[in-house]
Structure 1
Amino acid sequence: MPVTLDPDAALVFKAFQEAGRPAYETLTPAEAREYYRQARFVTNPEPPLLKSVAPLAIHAAKGIIPARIYTPMTLRQSNGLAPSLVFFHGGGWVIGDLDTHDVVCRKLADEGQLIVISVDYRRAPEYKFPAAVDDAIAATAWIADHAPELGIDAGRLCVGGDSAGGNLAAVVAIAARESKSPSIAGQVLVYPATDFAMTHPSHREPETSILLTHTVIRWFRDHYLNVAADADDWRASPARLETLAGLPPAYVLTAGADPLRDEGEEYARRLDQAGVAVTYRTFPGQFHGFFTMGKLLDQANVAARDMGAWLQALK
Structure 2
Amino acid sequence: MSPAENAANGIWPEFQAIIDKDGASGHPGLEDLPVESARRIMASALVRWGGARNSQVVVEEMRMPAAGDLVGVRVYRPRGTTRRPTVVFFHGGGFVLGDLDTHDAVASRLAHHAGATVVSVDYTRAPEASAEAMLAQCRDIVLSLREWAERQPDWSGSLGVVGDSAGATLAWHSISSLSWVHERVIDGALLFYPPVFPECSTASWEAMASRHFLARSTMRWFWTQFFEGGCGPTWEPLRVTSNLPRVDLVVGSRDPLVDECLQLGRSIGESNATSQTLVVPGAVHGFAGMGVVSPRAEALVIDLFRAFGARLSAHVVTDR
Normalised to the residue count of structure 2, the TM-score between the two structures is 0.88
**Aligned residue among 288, 291, 296 for 1:294:** 291
Describe how 1:154-233 pairs up with structure 2 within 5 A.
155-181=157-183, 183-206=185-208, 209-226=211-228, 230=231, 233=233
Equivalent pair of 2:29/2:218 in contact (CA under 8 Å): yes
Q: Which moved more, 1:44-53 or 1:284-293?
A: 44-53
Q: Which moved more, 1:213-222 or 1:305-314?
A: 305-314
Amino acid at match of 1:108: L
Describe how 1:1-315 pairs up with structure 2 within 5 A.
3-75=9-81, 77=83, 82-151=84-153, 153=155, 155-181=157-183, 183-206=185-208, 209-226=211-228, 230=231, 233=233, 235-239=234-238, 241=239, 243-314=240-311, 315=315
Equivalent pair of 1:141/1:182 in contact (CA under 8 Å): no
Q: What are the Cα deviations for residues 168-198 of structure 1, in whole angstroms up to 9, with x where unaligned? A: 1111111111111561001111001122233
Structure 2 gap segments, 5+ residues each:
1-7, 316-320
SS in 2 for 1:291: helix
Count of aligned positions: 305
Equivalent pair of 1:158/1:185 in contact (CA under 8 Å): yes
Aligned in 2, Cα 1:26/1:245: closer, same or farther, shift over 3 Å?
same
Percent identity between the two aligned chains? 27
Normalised to the residue count of structure 1, the TM-score between the two structures is 0.89
Q: What are the Cα deviations for residues 205-257 of structure 1, in whole angstroms up to 9, with x where unaligned? A: 137642311111110111110478x4x84x43412x2x443211011101122
Equivalent pair of 1:24/1:32 in contact (CA under 8 Å): yes
The structural deviation recorded for 1:65 is 0.3
Q: Which residue of 1 aligns with 2:3?
A: none
Amino acid at match of 1:75: T
Aligned in 2, Cα 1:12/1:226: closer, same or farther, shift over 3 Å?
closer
Aligned-partner Cα distance in 1 for 2:224–2:46: 25
Aligned-partner Cα distance in 2 for 1:118–1:194: 22
Aligned-partner Cα distance in 2 for 1:308–1:206: 28
Structure 1 gap segments, 5+ residues each:
none
SS in 1 for 2:95: coil
The structural deviation recorded for 1:38 is 1.1
Aligned-partner Cα distance in 2 for 1:305–1:297: 12
The structural deviation recorded for 1:74 is 4.5
SS in 2 for 1:161: strand
